[in-house]
Structure 1
Amino acid sequence: MDETVAKWLADVAIELEAEPGVDETVDAVARYARSALGCDDVGILLVSTGVIETAAATSERVRLADDLQRELGEGPCLSSLETHESYIIGDVATDDRWPKWGPRAAALGFASALSVQLFTKDRAFGSVNLFSNERDFFDDADESVAQVFARHASVALAAARQEQGLLKAIDGRKLIGQAEGILMERFNIDADRAFAVLNRYSQHHNLKLRVVAEGIVRNGQLPGTVSGTAAGS
């Protein structure tokens, strides 16, 4: 890998980390990957709670190709997720590793492809999948660039997910605090009693504390309570 490419990848890593959220980061990964390899299309598959989803795609046919992989249970993107390997497909239509998916992907206009995994030391996120309308478009040098790019992208995605989770947790704490204040004022109780009411209602109705708090902030009181009487008081 020459110095120009290495510097460009380093700059991209900085740009990705500056994206404000997970969705924006994933979209940026797709855009930069297409620029890095000069290919026609890029798709990003992400795994969340065991579900594989197309998180970003530069065209609708990429989404259709991903749908085919999930429908048929085979394809380079799925294989990359399962084996943690990269795959170069010189001729999508004739590659016998994915005999059902290949011809149908070729019918969408794809001739060759390259799939690399998104992962960090702690977890696998998904895969970056690059497509070209030309046969034998990708070579070993492209695979090396894609792997380095994927490592940068994985770090950026991990940071975005962590930050989003922290922001959600902070928002949840604020919401619970607001709900406590409403209960304290409405029922003339202290903060400890207000939290106990929230917690008891959460457990009794098998709802997350944040959901109960959100309902109180929106409606002004716990569901099923009579104005002036705290639930369980």
Structure 2
Amino acid sequence: MLTMDHQVTFGADAFARLAVELHDAGGVDETVEAVVQFALQAEACSYAGVVLTLRDRPEIAAVTHPLVTEIYQLQADIGEGPMLTALSEGIVVHVPEVKAETRWPAWVARLTQNRVGSALHVPMWANEQLIGVLSLFNTEPNAFTADDEAIAHILARHASVAVASARDGETMAAAVDARKLVGQAMGILMERFDLDESRAFEILKRYSQQNNVKLRDVAQELIDTRKLRGPYSE
């Protein structure tokens, strides 16, 4: 466990270092990996993990040990557990002693076979939207103090901002790539059929709608095959 003196010293330098690492991370995967590795240093934990929401469903984003994946998967299989509660209700869930826990009996019955004595799950918020959960586990019971929870909150806030920023960046990059693909496809149609930009784009859009295919996928198909398969009508 961390003492208050350790926290003060640790917080100033280490959280500054984390901010730099998260800023330099190349995407969501790299960001959450940096977070869980940092948690092992900053917290009284043996293992750490992050679950993110993707299309309103939880997705395991990073773990420091395969055991964390097993713990997450167990909750998904039985439909209960502290991580799922933290993720669905947006609250901090502290399990001081796994063997004495009574809120999720099915989870406890299975988890006591593993090497976990206590757990702490902290929700990750970005722009008032719950985007995931940071999970900390210790092999011993009663491992997490109020001070540890305070640090976990700070770490979760750093992670939330970084993940949201990385997601925005990836979305923006995908949008730019899509525009480039559509532009290339339009160029092919314009050259082959002597069309202007407006007419070429209209053909791609109408084909996309009639065949229920994303515009970027239509463009990619045209670029790859130089033709469009499926029905099309003016």
Could you tell me the TM-score, scaled by structure 1's length?
0.92
Query: Could you say which residue in structure 2 is the equivalent of 1:88?
Result: 94
Amino acid at match of 1:20: G
Q: State how many pairs are aligned.
A: 228
- Measure the CA separation in 2 of the matches of 1:122 and 1:163: 19
1:31-82 deviations in Å (ceiling 9; x for gaps):
1112211421111111112211111111211111111111222211111122
Unaligned runs of 5+ in 2: none
Query: Could you say which residue in structure 2 is the equivalent of 1:6?
Result: 11
Write the mapping of 1:98-113 to structure 2, written as runs, cut at 5 A.
98-113=104-119
Offset, 1:196: 1.1
Amino acid at match of 1:145: I
Write the mapping of 1:24-39 to structure 2, written as runs, cut at 5 A.
24-39=30-45
1:109-167 deviations in Å (ceiling 9; x for gaps):
11111110111233111101111111111111110100111001100001000011000
Match of 1:47 among 49, 53, 59: 53
Structure having the higher helix fraction is 2
- Measure the CA separation in 2 of the matches of 1:155 and 1:57: 19
**Is residue 44–residue 144 contact of structure 2 (8 Å, CA) maintained in 1?**
no
1:173-211 deviations in Å (ceiling 9; x for gaps):
000000011111222222221111101101111111111
1:203 aligns with 2:202: no
Two-structure CA RMSD over aligned residues (Å) = 1.6
1:202-228 deviations in Å (ceiling 9; x for gaps):
111111111100111111122258xxx
Unaligned runs of 5+ in 1: 226-230
Q: Percent identity?
A: 40
The runs of 4+ residues in structure 1 deviating greater than 6 Å are none
Could you tell me the TM-score, scaled by structure 2's length?
0.92
